[in-house]
Amino acid sequence: MELRLDGKVALVTGASRGIGKAIAAAYAAAGADVMLSSRKVDALESARDEIVAAAGDRAGQVAVCAANAGDPDAAAACVAATVERFGGVDVLVNNAATNPYMGRMIDIDLPRLDKTYDVNLRGAFVWAQEAYRQSMAERGGNVVNISSIGGLSVETSIGHYNVTKAALLHLTRSLAKELAPQIRVNAICPGLVKTDMARALWEGNEESVSKFVPLARLGEPSDIANAALFLASEASSWMTGTMLVVDGGMLL
């Protein structure tokens, strides 16, 4: 089955690298017009050029908008820029996340606790709220939240990060119930994926870590992008409020 997003407009946060860039690339290749967002415009422009070069003849247009995902004003401005450039927002991917602290959750300082919450949970809500207010309330749409299997389990070194990801799952379900049937809201729960953000968890010991994964390898950004493409497409049109685990069997 070929999954296409022709005629759709997608806005992807945290899109300059890793999972976000892979999702944006998959959407563009499937025909969507895509707005890439992250904090640094240089990184965004590099990602855009790479995506456009690889997308092919049936690709949509790709634009960039620099924005801090944890800043409500920046979120509103980026959604507005997407509406102005492409006419609306059909798909919002809340991918941007941060984890500035590793260690026992009980010892975390409040500034880093607040920063994690502001980006991972409040940020996801604000972007969804702005997409709703500026576009989706009128034309419908689709929200894909990138959570984590950490939201379904316990790991002591990244406890507060996992708390925000668990809360994101409940936010997903709550918005799915509120906004149906015009807007679908789903979440993806990746396992350990080889990204820069997760580098401390796998670099230097990838082989030993992979032994604990039933499918015998760590995830690639494309694994999550494939799931995000499915959730954005009509192939998942009877799905909302779901948590799609993509983890190579790690939770087993």
C-beta atoms surrounding 251 within 10 Å: 12
Nearest to 194 by CA among 19, 13, 50: 19
Catalytic residue IDs: 161
At a CB cut-off of 8 Å and minimum separation 6, what does 19 contact? 95, 146, 190, 193, 195, 221, 224, 225
Query: What distance in Å separates the CA atoms of residue 2 and residue 63, rounded to the nearest whole number?
Result: 24
- Whether 169 and 151 have beta carbons less than 8 Å apart is answered as yes
C-alpha torsion 135→137→142→148, nearest 10: 100
What gap in Å lies between CA 139 and CA 227, rounded to an integer? 24
